[in-house]
Structure 1
């Protein structure tokens, strides 16, 4: 009787542990839960904790503006260079994903999954507010399979 009570208590504790950790059997895949990618923006630099990404994996880009001015965050399909004459609407249409203006000290999350067709590509993380890209707010990344 005592051994059975200990087994039930053990099973209960294991269940509580899994619930507290947010885990359930079969729900531990990176492809379904995602990977956090800390991104720091400063005046005028972008630094991502990851620079290589896998197609089909969900990424949570956690973008923090550590600068003293407003910045944005865009994932562009490739290096676009200076796009000085292009409107922000046109740039937004070109972007794979983007966050609008981030105020100094603000943190926002962008979820994005690179499609399988992007394998072998070299997207770019960038801020295209006037003059920011030209001042160095870009980081090349790679999508590898």
Structure 2
């Protein structure tokens, strides 16, 4: 009976982890699943801990190419800026992600970002304006 209870508790715990398994830890850091589509960004995590390593697994499920940028805060419409200027502002980014493609990005939010609200965004022409942005939060 005792053995059954231990097995039952372990299986229950494993199922809970699988059910909540949007975020996992790997040797490269905590995995964050990000989905890009027309025209939105969905993420399995929206609050991050400074100093923690994250591995962003970014998948384009849309019908067109997208990109993934982590910006220090909402930058609004930057349509007049060059990609080089935008890249300099970004905390981290992945260039073109073709439809059906998944790319990864390893990033650790520095302690200087504690308490801020960065933004995930796609700045391909017209995408940001169509809603491809997602506010996130860095814990203090």
Q: What's the TM-score bracket when you normalise by the shorter of the two chains?
A: 0.7 to 0.9
1:109 is paired with a residue of what secondary structure? strand
> Is residue 134 of structure 2 the alignment partner of residue 139 of structure 1?
yes
Residue 63 of structure 1, aligned match among 49, 58, 63:
58
TM-score (norm 1): 0.77
Question: Within 5 Å, which residues of 2 pair with 1:1-145?
Answer: 33-145=28-140
Relative to total residues, which structure has the larger strand share, 1 or 2?
2
Number of matched residues?
A: 116
Structure 1 residue runs without a partner (length 5+): 1-29
Correspondence for 1:11: none
Partners of 1:80 and 1:48 lie apart in 2 by: 19
- Inter-partner Cα distance in structure 1 for 2:72 and 2:113: 9
Which secondary structure state, in structure 1, belongs to the residue aligned with residue 93 of structure 2?
strand
Residue 84 (structure 1) shift: 1.2
TM-score by length of structure 2 reads: 0.80
The Cα RMSD (Å) is 1.4
